[in-house]
Structure 1
Amino acid sequence: MSLRDYFYINKSDRRIILALLLLGMVAFVAVGVLDEDVPAETPSSADAKWRGGASQTQKAEPYYQVEAHRVERFPFDPNTADSTQLLRLGLQPWQVRNIYRYRASGGIYRSKTDFARLYGLTVKQYRELEPFIRISSDYQPASTLVAHDDGAQRDTLRYTAKLHEGETVSLNLLDTAALQRVPGIGSYYARRIVAYGQRLGGYASVKQLNEIDDLPADVQKYLQVTGDGHIRQLSINHLSLNELRRHPYINYYQARAIIDYRRQHGTITDLQQLSLLPDFPPEAIARLRPYISYQ
């Protein structure tokens, strides 16, 4: 085999190699032409160009831009001032939104110091605004319009006039508001007294208040029970076991004993008929008697 056989290239391969060589020559010539058109850049000119580009970028794209506006001072009422007025006073938009939310939720600025509680308001800002704050009298408590005999102004919704020594009221005719006139009784005890009276069907004696836990005993001297017309009685011959046991003075075993006695002996005409039963000692019959009807 001759040396020519080792370096033999067929016709199609020769065409490909020739095309690649031509493409390489064209690229080389193009790069040479472009390098001649671009002037050489010295280190000093490159540094100046970089500095100029940086300054132009900083001028064109600032980090943060705030629209400047002139702060004004004029009289204003924080309860009625609109957003334009509040912004003119120098408040920030988020502070204005907080004022609007506070007013929308029913908040009222009753004094200048109330406005000082605005979140984000500095001492300097408040001192500058304070001489211009005008709170309308329409936003003051209505209790300021009423003067009492002692010259003091008092909120009658918060303070209840108490009974004096020697004064009494009827226990069965009182509601929670009237009970709070009794010295030593507030809203908590008033609710408990009324609730227990409803369970009993009315009070037959002031001494029944001793059955309410922790109720001060000295409140009884301001209360009295007049007659029994306000007592709701139980029809002992007709009520079911569950209906009987709802009364505080009748437990489950007593209610069952009443039902059994009616079934065995018929109509009950007097509670004394139950005295022979072990569930009805004399004291149980005595306190239950005002609440029983035999009809």
Structure 2
Amino acid sequence: MKKWLAVYFGFTKREFNGLMTLFVLIGLMMSFPYLYGLVKEEEQVTEAEQQAVLTLALLDKKKLSDKKEYNFEQPTVKRKVSLFAFDPNRIGVEEWIKLGLSAKQAGAILKYRAKGGQFRKKEDLRKMYTISLHMYQQWEPYIRIANDLENSPALNSKTYPKQVHIKLAPVVVEVNGADTTALDQIRGIGMTFANRIINYRERIGGFYKKEQLMEVFGLDSVKYEEIKDQVVVDVTKLKRINVNTAEFADFKNHPYIRYKQVNALIQYRKQHGNYSNIADLNKVAILNQETINRLAAYLEF
């Protein structure tokens, strides 16, 4: 064929070799799409196979995990229960544990009692979330609550001394001379309020009426109604201020008068002379009638 082409077309050897190379390149270019499709299809099949293998591996792992979880499940620990007669309002943690509760469950019952909770009848125990129905049924014959015991034949055969309630006379405290110990005896007034009352009393110079106690921080009208019949005031114990000799320091901590009002009171006196009576304070423009009325009990001329 090489000779025929050389004779027919007059190709030289070099031209013939170039022509063959061109044919080979054209053939490769024409077959490239087909070859690429085969390679792509092979890759896709391999990818699908890998996905299937991965899915099977995950399923096997889940089955193994479920099997392990089932095999290693810890058995429920049964607590030893000792049954004995008990009053749920009186026994402590150790007794509750002997009855079959955990320390945490027993603590919950004691916390309930500490907040004022009581078991007035056997059935009240069933209201506690820490006590199961099975536990209650075991305990029920052994529960002895004080109120229930009154009807017990064993107790009815015994005689108990009758309790005598002595009615104490109400305490009455004079608040302008009382210390914290005396104030603490007032029902509804603890040491916190006792200290607050004394601190406020020192600031204003004493109380000239009981209603002033409501000016003490935290002592509202409800608290006042509770204590008002237990207190009295002695106005002779008030600490008074002489307005004709007073300086700024004498009014410094008094809650009834402000700094500017004190300054105006003193400056007016220096310019116009001493005050004769409470009415003269109306001449100080910055002092309103409400302020004058509140201060009147603490001033002298």
If the TM-score is normalised by the length of the shorter chain, which range does it land in?
A: 0.3 to 0.5
More helix by share: 2
